[in-house]
Each structure stands twice: as C-alpha cells, then as structure tokens.
Structure 1
Amino acid sequence: MTETPAPPRTSPLHERHEALGASFTDFGGWNMPVRYTSDLAEHRAVREAAGLFDISHMAEFRVDGPRAAAFLDYVLAGRLSTMKVGKAKYSLVLAESGGIVDDVIVYRTGDDSFLVISNAGNRDAVAAAFATAQATWLPASDTSTGSATDAPDAATEVPEPVEGTGTLTVADVTDSYALIALQGPEARGILSSTPGVEITGTPLDELGYYAWTAGAFDGAPLFVARTGYTGEDGYELMIPTAQAGALWDAALAAGADRGLVPCGLAARDTLRLEAGMPLYGHELSRDIVPAQAGLGRVVAVDKEAFVGKDGLSSGPADAPVLVGLVSDGRRAGRAGYAVLHGDDTVGEITSGALSPTLGHPVAMAFVAPAASAIGTELTIDVRGTRIPATVTALPFYRRNA
C-alpha cells in the first residue's frame, strides 16, 4: 500500500505571509513564500536597501558537552575545535564516500557548546549522520541524543546547553525556534532601530562577519548572527517560535522608511547565485566531493580522522568541477541544460538565471577539467539554441566592503 506523503510543514510566520499576499512553494518539505510581489523588486531591494526573509525551515542542532568540539572535528569536514566562542564557521557533513551530505554553519556558543544549522531538506540526513558518528566515536555511556523537547529555556538570553547524561549531547531543537534573515546595506540600521530589540553582547558595530552576539526581543532570547545567503551584509536572527511573529512585524515597521521589503525564495535564489553560493541538490550532493565544488579549503585534511576522509582520495582524476559561466543577451541557461565545447558535451548547468544586478545571464555548471580554465569559450544548449558562454571566476557579484 502506497503511503500518502505528509503535507508540507508551515512556518510560525505562515499567516503573516498570507496576509502579505505571498505565493508559496514546497521547499524541503515546508510550504514557504516564493515571492510577495516581484522577484526582481525583491532582489533589488536586498542589493540596494534590505530584505526580510523567513528561513524558519532551516534545521538547528545543539551539540554540548566536554567532548563536543572533538566530536564536531570528527563528524564535520572542518576543524571546529579551534574556533573561538562567539564565532561561526562554514563546514560540511560528509558521507564515508567523501560525498556531501549537507553544508552547515556552526556557531560556537560556549567552550563546550555549539549550534549547527543545516538545510531543511537534510534535517533527517544530518541527524542520522550525527547519530551514526556518536555510535562509532564514543561509547554509548558517553552520549545522549535529544530532540525538540529538550529545547533551551526561553527565559535565557542565549540558548543554553540541553541537559545530557554523558560527555556529549546532540539535540535537534528545530521546532523550538524560528529564523529570520535581515539582509542588505540597511540591515544594521534597521535592526538597531527595531523596537523591542536589545543587544546584550557584542554591539552590532563591533560584530565581525561570521560572528554572533546575544540579544533579547521583548524579554525573549535573541541570537543574532552576522551571516547570510545573499552576498550582502546582514543578520540571521534566531528566536523562540512564540515571539517570531512580533519580531517580524517590528522589523518590517522599523524598515518601512529604509526600503525594507519581505522577500521570498525566488529572490534568495538569484541573490545566492550572483554571490556564487552553492545550493544543496544543485551544486552539492552525495555524488560530489568538496574539491569538485571548489570547497576543498573547507576540509581540514590534516586531521587524523574524520568521516569521509578515506573516500576523498578515491574519486576519478577527471571528475567534473564547478565553474561560473557568463553569457550575453537575455537567454539564460537553467539547471540541467548541457554545456558543450565544440560539438562535445562537457558538462551540465546546475543553476542559472538572468542576473538582475549584472543584466546578463550567469550560471554555475559542472564541466570536465579540460574545459574549466577561466576564459574558456563554451556554449550552452538553451532549448536547441547554442548560446556562447565564457568560463569566469566565482562569485559573479561581490558587495562593496
């Protein structure tokens, strides 16, 4: 008997999105806003002023205990044990084959405490990777696995470690929190003027990129990270679900005279593409190892042991590599379109669009190493028409400092 698929989950902000006239799409098992007005207008707002995104579909894991740092060194590709409290780091969860299970952001919230944020569609895969690593890396008596019911106390300023019985506790706290991204050149001014927001840790004007600070909103704990997925400066705000709606409303009101608009997944996708940021299921998958995707720098290959280390050296030397492609005109290559060198198919587009910021088509593609040098002239098969394209360095767009 065929099981009926579970309906998509909804964000704590769903009713507000409906009231704003959003169109929705299923993304990673969540019913999320794809746009409110115009993809182009929302994209430009982020580049020129600011955009507000609901990213509550992302998954959050707490990793706590005296062995937390060493455990993350083992289960993730990077070296997390050297990261300072208050900082963040991009990393990868790898399969034993060396392929990418997910890409994550890790925040060090204490000497023995970390927050790991993963993609919505990979929540179960990351949880399984953590559980498998726990089972093989530490004796059962030294580990504890929690769930959303083990969420930190909402009365504290910063999410505190969950209670465990051993030297390592991993808890999925996704359902206890909402995530809101405030992105764009006006983001700092808007957040600073949002009624009810108080920064209790490092002031925003002193907070470095890929760092976090503690705060509060109307008495609820507010985790403020200077991170994002748009290529612009901005913040990602984690707050208990009960206060998410009020924070969303307050931020929109504070940014009303600064050009802030609510933004959906369509604008988020073109923004991250211009910034050369990979998307799982497009540029990243279990069939792709980090070096192919230009992420070899993320892997601390000198670590004595970590999940996927042995598999990284077993791939073929001629495996396709990720490149940027730029074209003239208005016709853009889309995911799945073939890339050719002369009459030979040498690769495939993974993401592509007409860049709203640059005014010409851009794409990311996996191509044969022999066709990957910057300046190489290729063509894209756009529905039977060959469109000239040139290999270029990523990212396509870089914000002014």
Structure 2
Amino acid sequence: MTEPRYTPLRKNHEALGASFTDFGGWQMPVRYTSDLAEHHAVRAAAGIFDISHMAEFTVRGAAAAEYLDYALAGRLSAMSAGKAKYSLLLAEDGGIIDDVIVYRLDDADFLIISNAGNRDAVREALRERVDAFDVEVEDVSDDFGLIAVQGPVSEAILAATEAIEDVTVPWAEQKYYAWARATYNGKPLLLARTGYTGEDGFELLVDAADVAALWDDILTAGAAHGLVPAGLAARDSLRLEAGMPLYGNELSRDIRPAQAGLGRVVVTDKERFVGKDASASVPEPAEGRVLIGLTAEGRRAGRAGYPVVLEDGTAVGEITSGALSPTLGHPIAMAYVDPSVAEDGTALFLDVRGTKIPATRTALPFYRRKK
C-alpha cells in the first residue's frame, strides 16, 4: 500500500485543527472550521490555501517556446516574459492529459504548473515530446511549496506581509495572469496573480523549506483583514461557482477540449502540435456529450454522478460537479449532456435520488466577482 503524502505545511494544518482527506494520494486539509465559513470568507475577504501538492516543471533552452507550441495546445511563443497562460496538454487522439498554467520566466525559461494527480503523466508526456528540440524538461515539484491567497483583500494582505520584499512590479500594476518576482526573507519568491476561486488573488511559489514560515507570516498579516485558512471543500465550491473545470470531473483523457467548452484554448492554425489532427476533426463539439451549466430552485442539489434526465425519465447526461451554491443560495451543477439537448428548449431535470428536480441551462460561470 502506498504511503500517503503530506505537504511541507502538515504541522501548520494540524496546529490549526484541520481535518484531512485523501486527494490524489496526498493528505490535504478539507476544512479547518466550516466549509461555508471558509467559502464566505474568500468571497468577502480572503482565504489562504495550501496547494503545495501541485506539480511544477521547468522548460529551458533555446527552443523552449517552439517546443511548448508543439507540446501544448496553445501558442505559448506569443506570450511575453512576465505573463502566464492557461493551456492544455493533449494526447494524440485529442483527449486531455491535463490542464496546466504556463509562466514565461524569460525568453528561454518557462514554468509549468500541473495537477498533482497527473504529475507522472505530465512528466512523461513532456519528456516524450522533446525530440530534436534544444530544451531540458525538469520535474522540480519537490523543490517548492505553493500557497494561494484568494479574495478581494488578498493584495492588501500580501502587501502587509513584512517579509515579502523586493517586489518587481508595484502591487497596483500587477495584472491577472501575470507574475512578479519578489523575495521572502531574502530568498526568491514567485508572485503570480492567478487562482482557482473566481476571486482576485495570488499564488506564491517559494522554496519548500520556507513555505511553512511564509504561511504563518501571511496569516499574521491577514488577521486584521479577515483572512482564514481554507480547505479543499471551500476550494471546490468556489471553483464550481466560477465555472472552472476540475480534472477528473469535467476533464479527462476521454474528453476533447471542444466538448468541455475549451475549444478557444486550442490554436488550430499552428503548423503542428500533439493532438492537432484529432482537434481539427471536431471543429464543433458534435461528437459525444458537451458540458453545460445547470441551476435549480430549492435546496436539494445534484452531485457528481447523478443523472440529467428528460421529463419521461430518459437519461441524457450526467452531473460532473454539483452543490448548493453558498454564494447564490440555490443548486448549481456542471454536467455533460447529449448535444441534442444542450442548447434547445427541451426541459431538463436533475435526478436527485429518484426525485426529478427541474433544471435551467445557465451560461458559465455561475458567479462573477465585482470588478
């Protein structure tokens, strides 16, 4: 039996009274106090999340940009240093191996952050695609800790964290999906304005040996701003409200980008990239089920695996993620349904343990933060 893995923040979580759960082989905090309290804190003020289980890869070399254009579905060569881009790592058949964020650190230096559970698959795929490119791909996941601070007062909290210094881009000038260099106690810190909650926020990459102290310093600085530690339960309800896909729920090797509403991420006019032929063969999501958003009234929410049915009970889809939205106060869900009912006026229902609950197609995301 494989031993469970813990991040470098294990003792910090235990001191805060966290409850743990298995997540892709990692023991991660699912909550500290209350799922709802942690969710609402992120929407109203800020939450701090441990995401040190995520995987990191560096891609370096003269042909790094050209290589990534081939290895990933996006055009990464068009991204300037200091920026970040969401992209997809596809298989030859167009299925999604993982969704990733790519940071351009310099002309020939990139960082990729992928999902923890896909670390081995991503590493293997990236290395297989090196071929004749003048690049080196290195798995540096164990070298770093990663913290997310999310919520409308995130910037104020990090600006008040005294040990974070030497920020290369003034706080007010830092843009979404961009990053800045900084130092934490004199050591390198990558400060990215990215996140997975639908709120403003940052993700901080630091040496694994320093992440526990950074966590505590941010909590101290955030105490006056309403910052709370938040676990996986809140992270999941927040990303669902924001309509953000989760690998293993909305994304998988059996799903093509167009089905998941991610056709825009695939740059099909590139000369070549892995999965291009399969992507080009399905310009519209005409094969297989497609992802839609659904809302309902009342308090009974559909959960992952629950059927989506017609009025006569015929199954036409399946929920991939669902919950009673803490922010909106009614049930929301993402589901894959047959293309024939994705956009027309056919009445749809959530089958919640044998009870049919009327559902309304809703454009994603369910929630947008106020600018």
Question: So what's the TM-score if we normalise by structure 1?
Answer: 0.90
**CA deviation string 1:56-96 (max 9, x = no partner):** 00000000010100000001000000100000000000011
Report the 3-state secondary structure (helix = DSSP H, G, I; strand = E; otherwise coil) of the residue aligned with 1:9: coil
Contact 1:325 1:362 in 2 (8 A): yes
Decide whether aligned partners of structure 1 residues 82 and 30 sit closer, same or farther in structure 2, where only a CA change above 3 A counts. same
Q: Give yes or no for the alignment of 1:230 onto 2:197.
A: yes
- Which of 277, 296, 305 in structure 2 is aligned with 1:327? 296
Q: Which amino acid aligns with 1:337?
A: Y
Q: Give yes or no for the alignment of 1:99 onto 2:95.
A: yes
Partner in structure 2 of residue 212 of structure 1: 179
Partner in structure 2 of residue 398 of structure 1: 368
- For 2:79 and 2:56, the matched residues in 1 are separated by 19
**CA deviation string 1:170-193 (max 9, x = no partner):** 101000000000000010000000
TM-aligned CA deviation for residue 392 of structure 1: 0.7
TM-aligned CA deviation for residue 374 of structure 1: 7.0
TM-aligned CA deviation for residue 369 of structure 1: 1.2
Decide whether aligned partners of structure 1 residues 256 and 65 sit closer, same or farther in structure 2, where only a CA change above 3 A counts. same
**CA deviation string 1:3-47 (max 9, x = no partner):** x3x112111000110010000011111111000000000000000
Partner in structure 1 of residue 53 of structure 2: 57
**CA deviation string 1:230-274 (max 9, x = no partner):** 000000000001111111000000010110000000000000000
Partner in structure 2 of residue 150 of structure 1: none
Partner in structure 1 of residue 3 of structure 2: 7
Report the 3-state secondary structure (helix = DSSP H, G, I; strand = E; otherwise coil) of the residue aligned with 1:52: strand
TM-aligned CA deviation for residue 310 of structure 1: 1.2
- For 1:65 and 1:314, the matched residues in 2 are separated by 32
TM-aligned CA deviation for residue 314 of structure 1: 4.6
TM-aligned CA deviation for residue 388 of structure 1: 0.7
Contact 1:183 1:228 in 2 (8 A): yes
Q: Give yes or no for the alignment of 1:309 onto 2:260.
A: no
Partner in structure 1 of residue 219 of structure 2: 252
TM-aligned CA deviation for residue 375 of structure 1: 6.1
Gaps of 5+ in 2: none
- For 2:166 and 2:300, the matched residues in 1 are separated by 46
Partner in structure 1 of residue 157 of structure 2: 190
Partner in structure 2 of residue 352 of structure 1: 322
Partner in structure 2 of residue 160 of structure 1: none
Q: Give yes or no for the alignment of 1:281 onto 2:277.
A: no
Contact 2:268 2:279 in 1 (8 A): no
- For 1:264 and 1:358, the matched residues in 2 are separated by 20
Contact 1:320 1:366 in 2 (8 A): yes
- For 1:204 and 1:58, the matched residues in 2 are separated by 25
Q: Which amino acid aligns with 1:175?
A: D
Contact 2:7 2:53 in 1 (8 A): yes
Q: Give yes or no for the alignment of 1:387 onto 2:354.
A: no
1:165-180 to structure 2, matched below 5 A, reads: 167-180=134-147
Partner in structure 2 of residue 361 of structure 1: 331
- After TM superposition, the structure 1 stretch with the greater mean CA deviation from structure 2, 102-111 or 313-322, is 313-322
Contact 1:178 1:239 in 2 (8 A): yes
Please tell me the root mean square deviation across aligned C-alpha atoms, in Å: 1.1
- Over the matched positions of the two proteins, sequence identity in percent amounts to 65
- For 2:310 and 2:364, the matched residues in 1 are separated by 20
- For 1:374 and 1:198, the matched residues in 2 are separated by 54
- For 1:375 and 1:19, the matched residues in 2 are separated by 52
Partner in structure 1 of residue 340 of structure 2: 370
How many residue pairs get aligned? The number is 368
Partner in structure 1 of residue 29 of structure 2: 33
